[in-house]
Amino acid sequence: MHIRFIRTILFTLVMLSMSAASFAQIGISINFAPPELPVYEQPLCPGDGYLWTPGYWAYADDDYYWVPGTWVMAPQVGLLWTPAYWGWGGNGFVFYDGYWGPHVGFYGGISYGYGYFGEGYEGGRWDNGQFFYNRSVNNVSVTNIHNVYNTTVVNSTTVNRVSYNGGTGGISARPRPQEEAAAREKHIPAVAVQTQHAQAARTNPEQRASVNHGKPAVAATPKPGAFNDRAVVPAKAAGAPYTPPANRGAVQPAANTPAAHPENSAARPDKPAQPTTGPETNRAPAAQPPTRPETNRPEPAQRSQTPPPSERSQPQRTPPPAETKRPAQERQRPQPGAQKPEEKKQKDEQPKKDEKPPQ
């Protein structure tokens, strides 16, 4: 029992010593943007100590899929959730996973709603070991939860459904000083129930953008993994009409390659930005024109083995047997009984018209 307790303490210390950069970026780069955020209602908070984690588009198997927003029990008192987001990394869209920490860090300026309006979190706060919910942005029943307050949130950012930072049409937000400071704090990655929740969304065909066209049937759940619960909330509408591109299978680089930070976002202080550029051989086949070495190309001289008529007319002509040159002695030898003396004389005197000059 004592040894198990020590192991638990050591594991907790190791997890706390991990910085956000250790797990906050997934080394996958997609060459087309994720769909816009769907429109949906937040389900009722299931109980005290649950924090809202907004839904997001993830990517696998050549398609985006929607991970529903859900209420998650905070792994420790005092921790807040920094949502996942997509950002343009120079060569493609890079995914940055969410994490738990004492303060909310940078999440691309994405307006997820329900307290996450692009900067920080307005949905609640910790006070003396207890979480207080802001009812102005959260669906909380005062019958079950009494630690609530009401603070009107003035959203100064433009409200839209864009789900990524940087690139063409993306959010142009950059980390604030307090978000940069939050990046240097000790963080904890998504807990087991969150990972299982995302995996359940991945294996559900109806969550795929190519099937639901940006309007998932399960947009939010009351608890992680509760896809069949009566309180499941479907999307009311897609953020914008979505049609999957034809070349959606082009993914670069490999999934275990560190990805770069968005080009219009400051690099996280605890880890410098790394470009996603790599050898051309790592790019998708569709992005490279097929080429062959010059040595494999047939030369023009080899395409036709037959010389032109001007080169093959005279040297290859075989004179007929009657025109073949004979020795002088053989031409002058009289044939017995074939010619008369006077005929031979006339023949010797006339020029040989049929004989051609030597070539």
Q: pTM (2 decimals)?
A: 0.65
Instruction: Name the phi and psi angles at 331, rounded to 5.
Output: -70, -30
Question: How would you write the pLDDT of the chain (359 residues) with one tens digit per residue?
Answer: 444 444 444 444 433 433 333 345 555 789 899 999 999 999 999 999 999 999 999 999 999 999 999 999 999 999 999 999 999 998 899 999 999 999 999 999 999 999 999 999 999 999 999 999 999 999 999 999 999 999 988 765 556 899 999 999 999 999 999 999 998 999 999 999 999 999 999 999 999 999 999 999 999 999 999 999 999 999 999 999 998 887 665 444 433 333 344 433 333 333 333 433 343 333 444 444 444 444 444 444 444 444 444 444 444 444 544 444 454 444 444 454 444 445 444 544 454 444 454 54
Question: Contact, 20 vs 268, CB < 8 A?
Answer: yes
Question: Contact, 70 vs 96, CB < 8 A?
Answer: no
Report DSSP letters for 99-143, one per residue.
EEESS----TT-EEETTEESSS--SEEEETTEEEEETTTS---TT
Bridge partner list, 87 = 94, 165
Phi-psi region of 225 (alpha: psi -120 to 50; beta: other; left: phi over 0): left
Q: What are the b/e assignments for 240-276, b being 16+ CB within 10 Å?
A: eebebeeebebbbbeeeeebbbbbbbbbbeebebeeb
Residues 6+ apart with CB under 8 A from 194: 53, 72, 224
- Residue 299 is given by DSSP the state P
